[in-house]
């Protein structure tokens, strides 16, 4: 169906705006991944009726026009190509930005709500959603749910999946459904329904029952995971609880379109303290990780010397982030560190250990105890005495990807090995092998991530105009992913698979589990309406053919 005809047909029932001009198509052909996929249309639904009618329209025309599909988008910060598509982009950021009454036990939000706006309101009530990612200043809640986001607070407080109480989803039949945790009796009542919803409950429950042990055993043995479909968290046979919200969280919009969520919040502590550890000797890393984790910090983050070097080089760019005064303060507060770096060189890794408490004395005691324990190691330890100085370190950690993406001349961030996770106890063996792969393939890269979980974000910097650079991507990805599998890890802890990792699902989980994933997709989206080229529909050749070659 050509664009003019498609637009006219949608205008017959659609109340929101529709765009198809070249400027809009160019903007929506990218997220923060290394891909470019040009859509046919961008639509901004005004309400849930618009979304329902869109789904029904695509469903009714899918057989005659197989190309038709819908991809939900809000912040567009996805690093895997999860928010781009060659058909219809459904942008929720314009009209789906309502926030209900802020309540700890459950706050209702729409997918277009930006986390930064949400956090301002929740903190006024002394509450917050702790699963925010490093992109907290630019991401939206819809994407956090679709990717099962996690971040610096996940070590102590878990991922987004742990805070979703209810989801409202438009399913493939175009109708709106509400999903939440059910008792066994409630589940049986749903199964007895002779409609699309009833059949979904019946088929997913049968899938869980018939493959219960396989499903449970397939759950990656790491602290967090955003690959596959969260089928292992749906049916709890011991508690007799069934929760279909779990299967939509982290599904990247491939099973339906989320239009509303109820999120549980937790209390924000009044005080925090940050201990900064500068490390050069990798051989002592496992012991340091163990000692830090025993102190039960709220966050345990890391960035490498390359990230620190680029952050210092692009310090003027922080003006936009911190404001002019904040940048001057940052420069003054970093002056002793700059002198130290100039004389002794940049540390290989900078580790950030944060403690939260309502009692500042408690924080001081925990920090002093950890400092005493770490004094036996050849590391330099620094206390970020002020909130401003702590914010500076957090800004480097959170904004490093955006700094790289916008400021490295002639190269572009290439997030294709950016989110693996292995247990921290394997890092001493794992890291040298990882670095060897990168060096042998002449990959320029930075490292940041969540040290406490063993979750690292390796961001290569590449010139996509050079064909030889692009040819490295599948080679290096294969080697790194296989290394992750060798150490029983997951290839994505937080960012999901999108177009860059979905084609590894079968290798990661095995053919039997991959078939279960395909059945889930078919049960919920039998006509392949939602977000193609991700999860079970990902294809290596398609992805490689859509790598950006201009900026």
Reading the block at residue 368, the tokens are 């002093």
Global pTM reads 0.91
What pLDDT is stored for residue 413 in this prediction? Answer: 82
Reading the block at residue 39, the tokens are 């859509």
Within a domain: 360: yes
| Residue range(s) defining the domain that contains residue 427 | 273-486
For residue range 447-499, list pLDDT tens digits in order: 888 888 999 999 888 888 888 988 999 999 999 999 999 999 999 999 999 99
Q: How does residue 3 score in pLDDT terms, banded at 50, 70 and 90?
A: very high
What pLDDT is stored for residue 462 in this prediction? Answer: 86
- Number of domains within the chain: 1
Within a domain: 443: yes
Within a domain: 223: no
Closest CA to 315 of 416, 403, 440, 435: 403
Reply yes or no on whether the pLDDT at 410 is more than 80. no
Distance CA 204, CA 212 (A): 11
> What is the arithmetic mean of pLDDT over 279-284?
87
Residues 294-326 as b/e (b if ≥16 CB within 10 A, e otherwise) read ebebbbbbbbbbbbbebbeebbebbeebbeeeb
Within a domain: 119: no
Within a domain: 419: yes
Distance CA 389, CA 354 (A): 13
What pLDDT is stored for residue 102 in this prediction? Answer: 97
Within a domain: 149: no
How many C-beta atoms lie closer than 10 Å to residue 197's C-beta? 18
Within a domain: 321: yes
Within a domain: 278: yes
For residue range 101-130, list pLDDT tens digits in order: 999 999 999 999 999 999 999 999 999 999
For residue range 389-409, list pLDDT tens digits in order: 666 677 776 666 666 655 556
For residue range 239-280, list pLDDT tens digits in order: 999 999 999 999 999 999 999 999 999 999 988 889 999 999
Distance CA 306, CA 311 (A): 8
What pLDDT is stored for residue 403 in this prediction? Answer: 63
Q: How does residue 330 score in pLDDT terms, banded at 50, 70 and 90?
A: very low
Return left, alpha or beta for 347; rule: phi > 0 is left, psi -120 to 50 is alpha, else beta.
beta
The domain spanning residue 328 has which CATH number?
Answer: 3.40.462.10
What pLDDT is stored for residue 437 in this prediction? Answer: 96
What pLDDT is stored for residue 324 in this prediction? Answer: 43
Distance CA 143, CA 139 (A): 7
Reading the block at residue 7, the tokens are 């637009």
For the four alpha carbons of 186, 192, 194 and 200, in that order, the dihedral sign comes to positive
């Amino acid at each position: 169906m050509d664009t003019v005809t498609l637009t006219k047909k949608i205008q017959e029932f659609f109340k929101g705006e529709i765009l198809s001009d070249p400027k809009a198509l160019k903007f929506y052909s990218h997220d923060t991944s290394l891909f470019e996929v040009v859509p046919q249309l961008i639509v901004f639904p005004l309400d849930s009726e618009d979304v329902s009618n869109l789904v029904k329209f695509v469903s009714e025309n899918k057989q005659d026009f197989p190309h038709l599909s819908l991809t939900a988008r809000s912040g567009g910060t996805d690093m895997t190509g999860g928010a781009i598509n060659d058909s219809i982009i459904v942008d929720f950021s314009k009209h789906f930005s309502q926030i209900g009454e802020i309540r700890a036990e459950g706050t209702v939000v729409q997918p277009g709500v930006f986390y930064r706006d949400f956090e301002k309101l929740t903190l006024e009530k002394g509450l917050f959603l702790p699963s925010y990612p490093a992109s907290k200043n630019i991401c939206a809640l819809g994407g956090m749910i679709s990717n099962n986001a996690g971040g610096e607070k996940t070590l102590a407080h878990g991922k987004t999946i742990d805070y979703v109480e209810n989801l409202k989803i438009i399913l493939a039949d175009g109708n709106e459904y509400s999903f939440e945790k059910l008792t066994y009796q409630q589940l049986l009542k749903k199964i007895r329904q002779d409609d699309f919803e009833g059949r979904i409950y019946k088929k997913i429950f049968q899938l869980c029952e018939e493959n219960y042990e396989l499903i449970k055993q397939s759950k990656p043995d790491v602290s967090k995971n955003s690959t596959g479909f969260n089928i292992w968290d749906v049916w709890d046979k011991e508690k007799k609880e069934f929760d279909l919200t779990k299967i939509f969280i982290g599904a990247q919009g491939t099973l339906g379109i989320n239009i509303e969520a109820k999120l549980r919040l937790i209390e924000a502590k009044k005080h925090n303290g940050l201990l900064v550890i500068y490390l050069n000797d990798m051989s002592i890393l496992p012991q340091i990780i163990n000692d830090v984790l025993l102190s039960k910090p709220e966050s345990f983050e890391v960035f490498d010397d390359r990230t620190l070097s680029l952050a210092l080089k692009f310090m003027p760019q922080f003006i936009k982030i911190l404001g002019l005064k904040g940048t001057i303060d940052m420069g003054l507060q970093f002056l002793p560190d700059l002198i130290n770096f100039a004389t002794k060189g940049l540390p290989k890794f900078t580790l950030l250990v944060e403690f939260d408490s309502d009692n500042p004395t408690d924080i001081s005691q925990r920090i002093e105890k950890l400092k005493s324990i770490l004094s036996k190691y050849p590391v330099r330890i620094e206390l970020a005495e002020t909130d401003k100085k702590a914010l500076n370190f957090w800004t480097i950690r959170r904004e490093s990807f955006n700094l790289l993406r916008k400021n490295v001349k002639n190269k572009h961030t290439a997030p294709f090995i950016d989110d693996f996770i292995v247990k921290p106890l394997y890092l001493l063996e794992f890291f040298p092998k990882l670095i060897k792969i990168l060096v042998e393939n002449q990959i320029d890269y930075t490292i940041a991530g969540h040290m406490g979980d063993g979750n690292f974000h390796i961001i290569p910097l590449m010139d996509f105009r050079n064909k030889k650079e692009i040819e490295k991507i599948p080679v290096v990805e294969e080697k790194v992913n296989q290394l992750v599998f060798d150490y029983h890890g997951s290839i994505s802890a937080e960012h999901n698979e999108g177009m860059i990792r979905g084609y590894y699902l079968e290798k990661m989980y095995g053919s039997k589990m991959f078939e279960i994933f395909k059945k889930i997709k078919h049960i919920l989206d039998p006509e392949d309406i939602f977000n193609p080229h991700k999860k079970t529909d990902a294809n290596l050749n398609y992805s490689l053919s859509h790598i950006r070659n201009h900026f």
